[in-house]
Structure 1
Amino acid sequence: MVRKEENKSSDLNPKTWEPHFLATGIGSLPHSDPEAALDLIWQSVPTAPHWPQLPNLGAESSFIGQFLRPLIETGVIGGFASPRFQVEAPDWPERMARFYELYLRAESGEIEALDAFGFTPKGGIGFESFCADIEHRDTQGVLLVKGQLSGPLTVGMQITDANRRASYYDEIQRDLLVKALAMHGEWQTRRLARFGYPVLISIDEPELYAYGASTHVTLGRESLIAHINEISDGILRQGGIPGVHVCAGTDWTLLFDSKVRVVNFDAYEYMTSMIVLAESLNDFLEQGGILSWGIVPTSAKAFGETVESLQECLEGNIQELVKRGVNEARLRAQSILTPSCGIGTLELDLTERIYALLQGLALKMS
């Protein structure tokens, strides 16, 4: 008999949520030992802990491979190490049919099918370690838990065919990616919601920087928003809060006009891209949106910064937005702090420096 579960919603209302500079991470860390990564997370961002992505553990744990399980297990994509859509396979239609059958079962609420969109045992080491860890940690001060997944534009640009053409530009391959990621987002939200805390799920989409560039003229605004919304819908169905992280400048109105409730940007290097859209940002905040400041640099520049220097930078950025019409009280109430980008490729000493700055800044701003 098919087993179903009702969706679980948190008590948090995204329309009235005021995080007041709550600090969390982007996701990836350079550790090979998940417990060491979790120790750093719980020490540095205990009120909004996130599960650690551990790309150094191999292809199944990588930024791309981690979310491909249903596509690989149905034969649509071949292998984690060098993923390619198997369009030349003589049974390609049957492979696609297997995937869409699984997708439709998951979308209809069949839990066993939804579980097939989760991580592989190897790819989900950081996630499962976090879930086990949260059971016995002192979580009295936790205000929310955070998860993350890669976005369809970024994944679709990384997976190419034999002619190096990005799969994102193929309508069928793009649809397969979006649906796989949407169901994963729903699955992950459901798993994290079990712990009883509000769940923030960030869609990591660094390739959005390319929107509007002359080299990517075929990227359409409406389709990009539609794909983000499709993933957001799954997160929302499980009572989660959808967000998007972009570690470069982009047209932020693309996200402001979507169902995303948290926009995470690199405020250290790309503040200008947000300043020029101050009016649109203010509208986003008025609708209950949250601005997530990637204010701690994820480069060697972190060694040259202090908590005080980052606070000065952040306060200066806030005032630049206020001068352009952003409501200051609302902005301060509806802000989160993060590093500017993921940290999976960095050295451990730099990683620890970044998280120490993040922790200290959150204490100063609270």
Structure 2
Amino acid sequence: MTDQQWPWPAGAATGIGSLPGTDIAEAQRVVLGELPALPHLPELPARGPGADLVGRTAGLLVELPVELYAARWRIAPRPGKDLRRARDLMERDLDQLAEQAEEYAGPVKVQAAGPLTLAASLELPIGGRMLRDPGAVRDLAGSLGEGLRGHLAAVARRLPRASVLLQLDEPSLPAVLAGRVPTESGLGTHRPVEPEAARGLLRGVIEAAGVPTVLHCCAPDVPLELIRTAGAVGVALDLGLVDDLDPLGEALDAGLGLLAGAASALPPSAGRAPTSAQVADRVRRLWDRLGFPRRRLAEQVVVTPACGLAGATPAYARAVLTACRDAGRRLSEE
């Protein structure tokens, strides 16, 4: 692999996205304080509908209004109160980011659901997931790309000295590719999406967004080659779910960055967060097993929690972010 520039500094750490609680000002303070090299826009799903990953992203769609129906998001005939709420929450979050990080001059990460997870979650107006209609899925991906371009421009306007990094959350991607997404009756499953079609949808969204993009998938069987060839600069994984090292080694050797989920998102039975030494050691062990030179580690890898932290206590979430930050520094000093 040739020397390449990464859209993050060496030894960086970041969060996956979600945090516990409902106070966005406090969440933003924690992120900026604990993750100074690569802060992210926190997501607080405990605030309710519109703060969840699907509702939050659906609020960004262009000319595809959404509404809540029987606790699920679906495409709506016209914009209404549910969409307004999702957009108001996002606007408030961006204002808070601008207030606290106006002078920030490094990379900042924002997260959104990717097109395949969105298609597996959003319902058509007539019922059933969008995934069942390939034409609707293409329209959805186009709308998402356009919406993300506007959203990222809004972030850049508020933080004029920062550079923006996008994370697409695709937890459903392996299930979509394998035909494991259940139909509404629960008796069957949707047809698998062909890898070439999935790659095209992802590539279209990444190109429309126009900023370096990492793809997050905390599931087993992450399709690393598909993600890399769709144009992502990196992949965010839960290291506890990585069984087969060969595909990961090949993807990293071909130039994919790694956001290494090395600290449990939920407290173990003892309740204590891992130390920075334990987190650094976990990343280092993986890197050594892959057989790569240590000098590349701190540049190509960002240390993260294994997944979002919405289910943790505020104290545990903060301790995990601190451990990730200090682990990144340890790795960069070697």
Aligned residue identity for 1:333:
E
Task: Report deviation, 1:22.
Answer: 0.8
CA contact (8 A) 1:151 1:205 kept: yes
Cα distance in 1 for residues equivalent to 2:60 and 2:39: 27
CA contact (8 A) 2:120 2:176 kept: no
Aligned residue identity for 2:49:
A
CA contact (8 A) 1:19 1:335 kept: no
5 Å matches for 1:79-94?
Answer: 79=68, 82-86=72-76
Aligned residue identity for 1:178:
A
Cα distance in 1 for residues equivalent to 2:90 and 2:212: 24
CA contact (8 A) 2:259 2:304 kept: yes
Matched, 1:351 2:314: no
Partner SS, residue 300 of structure 1: coil
Partner SS, residue 299 of structure 1: coil
5 Å matches for 1:170-319?
Answer: 170-194=133-157, 195-210=160-175, 212-213=177-178, 215=180, 218-236=192-210, 240-249=211-220, 250-267=222-239, 269-273=240-244, 275-285=245-255, 289-301=256-268, 303=272, 305-319=274-288
Equivalent of 1:160, from 123, 140, 163? 123
Query: Could you list the per-position Cα deviations for residues 114-160 of structure 1 after superposition, in whole angstroms to 9, with x for gaps in the alignment?
Result: xx99x61234322331122212x6x3xx5311111111211221223
Query: Could you list the per-position Cα deviations for residues 317-363 of structure 1 after superposition, in whole angstroms to 9, with x for gaps in the alignment?
Result: 011111xxx45533442111111111223322221222122122122
- In structure 1, list runs of 5 or more residues that go unmatched: 1-13, 87-91, 99-115
Task: Report deviation, 1:188.
Answer: 2.5
**Residues 121 and 77 of structure 1: CA distance in aligned 2, closer, same or farther (over 3 Å):** closer
CA contact (8 A) 1:271 1:317 kept: no
Q: Which residue of 1 aligns with 2:186?
A: none
Q: Which residue of 2 aligns with 1:147?
A: 110
Aligned residues: 311
CA contact (8 A) 2:72 2:123 kept: no
Cα distance in 1 for residues equivalent to 2:249 and 2:20: 38
Aligned residue identity for 1:77:
V
- In structure 2, list runs of 5 or more residues that go unmatched: 182-190
CA contact (8 A) 2:257 2:301 kept: yes
**Residues 66 and 349 of structure 1: CA distance in aligned 2, closer, same or farther (over 3 Å):** same
Task: Report deviation, 1:68.
Answer: 2.1
5 Å matches for 1:33-182?
Answer: 33-69=23-59, 74=63, 76-79=65-68, 82-86=72-76, 120-135=87-102, 139=104, 142-160=105-123, 165-182=128-145
Partner SS, residue 89 of structure 2: coil
Aligned residue identity for 2:267:
A
Partner SS, residue 42 of structure 2: coil
Cα distance in 2 for residues equivalent to 1:49 and 1:129: 14
Task: Name which of structure 1's ranges 242-251 and 275-284 shifts more when overlaid on structure 2.
Answer: 275-284
**Residues 291 and 75 of structure 1: CA distance in aligned 2, closer, same or farther (over 3 Å):** closer
Task: Report deviation, 1:220.
Answer: 1.2
Cα distance in 2 for residues equivalent to 1:297 and 1:70: 30
Query: Could you list the per-position Cα deviations for residues 226-277 of structure 1 after superposition, in whole angstroms to 9, with x for gaps in the alignment?
Result: 11111111222xxx2111111122121111111111211112x12324x121
Aligned residue identity for 1:270:
L
Task: Report deviation, 1:304.
Answer: 5.7
Cα distance in 1 for residues equivalent to 2:154 and 2:331: 31
Cα distance in 1 for residues equivalent to 2:250 and 2:174: 18
Aligned residue identity for 1:223:
A
Task: Report deviation, 1:280.
Answer: 2.2
CA contact (8 A) 2:252 2:258 kept: no
Cα distance in 1 for residues equivalent to 2:126 and 2:55: 20
Q: Which residue of 2 aligns with 1:101?
A: none
Cα distance in 1 for residues equivalent to 2:279 and 2:14: 16
Q: Which residue of 1 aligns with 2:185?
A: none
Task: Report deviation, 1:279.
Answer: 4.7
Cα distance in 1 for residues equivalent to 2:273 and 2:109: 28
TM-score, normalising length from structure 1? Answer: 0.76
Matched, 1:364 2:298: no
Matched, 1:329 2:295: yes
The percentage of counterpart residues that share the same residue type is 21
Aligned residue identity for 1:314:
V
Runs of 4+ off more than 4 Å: 73-76, 161-164
Query: Could you list the per-position Cα deviations for residues 42-85 of structure 1 after superposition, in whole angstroms to 9, with x for gaps in the alignment?
Result: 111012111111212221221111122365x9575334853223
Partner SS, residue 214 of structure 2: strand
